[in-house]
A and B are shown apart, each in its own frame.
Chain A
């Protein structure tokens, strides 16, 4: 365009890529932040009023501009330009963030800056510079490398969730990737998931030797370790011959669907298998009549959008090209804006359950307020994770919900702990439990 217009300067084009291993790829994005705080406020169209105005947990809790994406972009820009050094505060700012993607969709409402990738790249830089991740993350990383799970538990106990009546197949088209939390801690989720498969008449298999998905490694910027795990897991999955991988964990879902392809520099479509979250699988099964939600659940219920299932879950496509005049890029870049996240399926499922009165919280879908647990936050900043859960629970109380449902064990655990500590009268359930209870009728 620029060289077609006589009046313009001709600007040499610069090479860029959506590659988080080099912060220089995001200098343009960091330098174009305008402090509109679209990253922080709820989309103004959906702004619910003087309560619940923000969607960024980090900015809400810590309040200094530095904790909002608009502050982090300035800090990152100064670091990329070599005029600001790491210190303890910088590390806290970069890691006391749930990487929940609220800022990214907020910015892309108007500006299309790559905020989420910038924040990921800053963590990669922290690790490369020898200052990151946080001590608590290093312990988890050690667990994953040595024991192949988040908790440092014995690998032999990974299948301890399999009880009588649950019989995974040796070979099947559907592979259930259980994940560390549903394997070791929240067995009710894996057990419910297995029963849902059975009720829908679907044979499922497990990975012969399932390892951690590596969410924490990736999220805290330990890319070498995360990439090794991605290569191993994808290879293992391909070897099974399964056509579809189903997760019951939103974080695991995002890893398989988005971040493994990102790490391996391939498209989601090139994985060679389909990645589904349980809610997508169940939604299809309800629609084709294989699953029926029969047993009533009389409750006033609300649904919490897990970030990794919703605004962070659009498929990944590698992109590299050039940026030129007015910041335009070529070849054409199809931006990931969170528009096509998994929003409707869980709601359709819950609405299909007799007796459920599903009500929305003031902040929903792409505007939802993160529970505060994911992507390394709860391990390094437990008080922040509690703050975020409590802040979200205020919304649950505002709409008078008796039951809070989510689709991620991280959300469930964080909310459950907060409810218990507060003595709140709210029941917290994973959506697999709700589905399972309803199909039993």
Chain B
């Protein structure tokens, strides 16, 4: 239903004239594509549209009032924090109300109890700086320093720092969630007082409702306030240096140090990560895709291709790197001890330390996710797997093999097995596979590849993170449940019986497969006739 003048007037009284607009030019600016995360692909072209109206609330109460008006008048709406997460965070149906939450950027730091409290408009880098100014730190998610902390934590939010800090969703404390019909849920200690210091609810832990495993893309309401646990950091200042584009944090070398090691084999790589975890040393242990190194070194896009064009399957297959961040959390002596242990481990696995810059361009305060678009223009992370360290390593090569079938249009990466790292001191292994393409190419095969990865995960029994809203629910649900899809839809129907909160999520990818002719030959699973059209 279109947003009538009467409904518009009611919404206007909630936020004021200045913070609502249905001007087509204002709305055009909220278009998902044509560039950006997962944009330029079929999902963006087929499933997204510009909103019919945009509103910018300032408070939780305003959000409640807005969604109540929407629910009463059958106006679909989409919560929107920064818009960085591509088409899945943009309207999928005509005449939707986009609720832009950027004005809700409150920030409170509780130094004594080690947490911060933020609104959905607050992004990571200022949070990290405030934390570091007070002896604490948080993870800057792989989504980047520009990501809304709330949106990122609801989704995923992991980074190399998860080696020590752990999986970010474990750090969600007291949270406010406005349900699709406007009712307010307070989780954790917020349920009984206005103090968000604790995350678990008195009854069932409702954090699952707001995020599931890796996020429900706003289809179950809007998180308006969240407390995030911080952890103690070292006390020295990390000084910003350089002029754009070559900026970095200068590291106090006796308290923080990156060291890059080249190791002889994949086995050595895994063993090194395991041993570092067992020894409980290090702030981060990671192996990033090898072309990231080329991105970091490249002067520009053309230079990247000059360098990357020198690689081949053999050079990629025989290059194994482990990148370790040491942090003297408690003292210089502690870091010296960690370094000695690290060197012992590397000696055992045959690792050689390479010259490493005494600075941090990415991960501690900045996360250069935006740089991922430099060389191709099109990018998406198709999957994340959190497994044991030994199992997670199986994931990358399987992906690399599947990718060959879809290259081109995917960027030639010569079989690079993706991103692999230790989480939670080696108790978890993480694998992420990223794909790149030129969006001016015919990208139908990228859309097909995306769904094919789900089939591969099912075949190999990889426990993928991108379920539900990210893939066809009727493909993944029966295989991961066997009734995961029924469960998701029951929860959705219970809390949002009119499907007003970001429709047709969580069935959006099912709908996409139905709507896109080039996806029909991919469909070998059953789904009901009455999918939303």
Interface set of A (CB-CB < 8 Å, partner B)? 1, 4-5, 7-9, 11, 31-38, 41, 43-50, 53, 63-66, 68, 70-72, 74-75, 77-78, 84, 87, 89-90, 93, 105-106, 108-112, 325-330, 332-333, 335, 337-339, 343, 365-367
Contacts and interface: CB of A to CB of B under 8 A. Distances in A.
A111 B29 contact: no
Interface of B: 19, 21, 23-26, 28-31, 33-37, 39, 54, 56, 82-84, 100, 102-103, 107, 122-130, 133, 144-146, 240, 242-249, 300-302, 305-306, 309, 361, 365-371, 373-377, 407-409, 411-412, 438-442
Contact of A84 (B24, B127, B128): B24
Contacts of A338: 243-244
A189 B248 CA distance: 37
A87 B23 contact: yes
B280 to A, nearest CB: 29
Contacts of B103: 63
A93 B24 CA distance: 12
B29 A72 contact: yes
Contact of A53 (B126, B243, B244): B126
21 contacts: A8-B412, A9-B442, A37-B84, A44-B125, A44-B365, A45-B247, A47-B125, A47-B126, A50-B127, A64-B54, A64-B100, A65-B29, A65-B30, A84-B25, A84-B28, A89-B25, A90-B25, A112-B300, A326-B305, A326-B377, A327-B376
Tell me what chain B mostly uses at the interface: helix, strand, loop, or mixed.
loop
Contacts of A367: 244
A337 B247 CA distance: 13
Nearest to B361: A45
Nearest to A343: B243
Given A34-B37, A36-B144, A111-B374, 9 more contacts: A7-B407, A7-B412, A31-B439, A53-B123, A65-B100, A66-B28, A66-B29, A89-B25, A330-B302
A1 B245 contact: no
A339 B243 contact: yes
Contact of A34 (B84, B102, B128): B84
A48 B129 contact: yes
A109 B28 CA distance: 26
A212 B184 CA distance: 60
Given A11-B441, A78-B31, A89-B25, A326 B375 contact: yes
A279 B120 CA distance: 43
A33 B306 CA distance: 24
Nearest to B40: A31
Contacts of A68: 29
B377 A327 contact: yes
A37 B82 contact: yes
B130 A327 contact: no
Given A7-B408, A74-B28, A41 B125 contact: yes
A298 B31 CA distance: 53
User: When A and B form their complex, which 6 residue pairs have the shortest distance between CB atoms, in order from nearest?
Assistant: A71-B29, A66-B29, A44-B145, A44-B125, A36-B370, A34-B36
A5 B366 contact: no
Scoring A48, A326, A339 by chain B CB atoms within 10 A of each residue's CB, the highest score goes to A326
Contacts of B365: 44-45, 47
A72 B407 CA distance: 33
A93 B29 CA distance: 11
B370 A32 contact: no
Contacts of B100: 64-65
B26 A66 contact: yes
Contacts of B306: 1
Contacts of B442: 9
Contacts of A1: 305-306, 309
B244 A36 contact: no
Contacts of B408: 7-9
Contacts of B366: 43-45
A9 B36 contact: no
Given A110-B370, A110-B373, A335 B30 contact: no
A436 to B, nearest CB: 29
B125 A64 contact: no
Nearest to A64: B26
Given A63-B103, A326-B301, A31 B25 contact: no
Contacts of B247: 43, 45-46, 109
Contacts of A109: 244-245, 247, 370
A32 B28 CA distance: 16
Contacts of B29: 64-66, 68, 70-72, 74-75, 93
B444 to A, nearest CB: 13
A5 B127 CA distance: 44
Contacts of A65: 29-30, 54, 83, 100
B377 A63 contact: no
A68 B102 CA distance: 13
Contacts of B369: 36
B243 A365 contact: yes
A328 B245 CA distance: 19
A46 B240 contact: yes
Nearest to B302: A328
